Amino acid sequence: MISVMQGVLGLLSGALVGFSLGLVGGGGSVLAVPLMVYVVGVPDPHVAIGTSAIAVATNAAFNLSNHARGGTVRWSCALTFAAAGIIGAFVGSIFGKMLDGQKLLALFALVMLVIAALMLKTRARVGLPDVQMSWSNMPAIVGLGLATGTLSGFFGIGGGFLIVPALMLATGMSILNAVSSSLVAVTAFGLTTAASYAWSALISWQLAGIFIAGGIAGGLIGTRSARHLAARRGALNVVFAAVIIAVALYMLVRSLTPILMSAP
């Protein structure tokens, strides 16, 4: 049973996660797990991961419906990418368990900083309108879907920050289409993780419900903000890169501190 304060904090934390998913299509798991542990006060990290997985997947699905109503989801590309990514995530998770957790997070943070730099470099690119999957881009969609899923499974994180630039690279679509379409994969990856943790009874369903409620409200604001920023050339790319850099630096500090503290 969670306290009233935990419920309020869970609602606010869920709103922040939903806003991030609606705005940039990423940040769900990266934000949700530390929020549940350090803000809401979930004592068991495994319960925090399991609960955040079902909450993020549900919020991603809700935000996906918001973007779909706006006609910005490229379904053929998104579904193929997600299917390949699920296979990659399964393989990646096997290898990820072999590496120390703190070093894993530090490595992922460095990858995110590289992605942020690339997003800023290409911020003036408009993107191709009405992109669909074809024989010419299918190998790139499947290949990058597998690679992104593998990295997501390897690092144990939803991967929204990897999916968006990967979709743009594979198809040439605009960042708004990539943000919208990425939520298909974020939903699929999250449900896969949540099913595993639910099987092991590592989900707080009460907290998940509160988190989802907050996420729905935050997602509406995030989706509208994404459409507004997309109308300004390069603005959404800059916001996306800024969020990545902030989260990456936070992860570096959190993951490197224990390593440095234990050094002789």
CA angle, 103 then 29 then 242, to 5° = 80
Confidence (pLDDT) at 142: 94
- pLDDT exceeding 70 applies to what percent of the chain? 82
Q: What angle do CA 125, 131, 137 make, to 5 degrees?
A: 95
Which 8-state DSSP code applies to residue 157? S
Domain ranges of the chain: 4-262
If pLDDT is split at 50, 70 and 90, which confidence band does 158 have?
low
Report the distance separating Cα 174 and Cα 131, nearest Å: 9
pLDDT of residue 140: 92
> In the structure, what pLDDT confidence band is assigned to residue 157 with cuts at 50, 70 and 90?
low
C-alpha atoms less than 13 angstroms from C-alpha of 148 in its C-beta half-sphere = 32
Q: Is the dihedral of CA 217, 74, 208, 88 positive or negative?
A: negative
Q: What is the pLDDT of residue 67?
A: 83
Residue whose structure tokens are 């690679």: 147
- Identify the CA nearest to 17 among candidates 45, 47, 48: 48
- In a 13 Å sphere around the CA of 245, the CA atoms on its Cβ side amount to 11
List C-alpha distances in Å: 106 to 31, 96, 234, 259.
Answer: 15, 13, 28, 10
Q: Encode pLDDT of 39-83 as tens digits.
A: 888 888 778 878 888 888 888 888 888 888 888 889 999 999 999
| pLDDT per residue as tens digits for the range 167-202 | 888 888 887 888 888 889 888 877 877 887 788 888
**Cα 170 to Cα 6: distance, rounded to the nearest angstrom:** 42
pLDDT cut 90: percent of the chain above it = 11
Give residue-wise pLDDT tens across range 28-41.
666 777 788 888 88
Copy the structure tokens of residue 55.
């909450």
Enter the tokens of residue 142.
Answer: 């499947």
* Distance spanning both ends of the chain, measured CA to CA: 42
pLDDT in tens, 89-136: 878 777 766 666 566 667 777 877 877 787 677 655 656 667 777 788
Q: Which two tokens stand for residue 253?
A: 């500090």
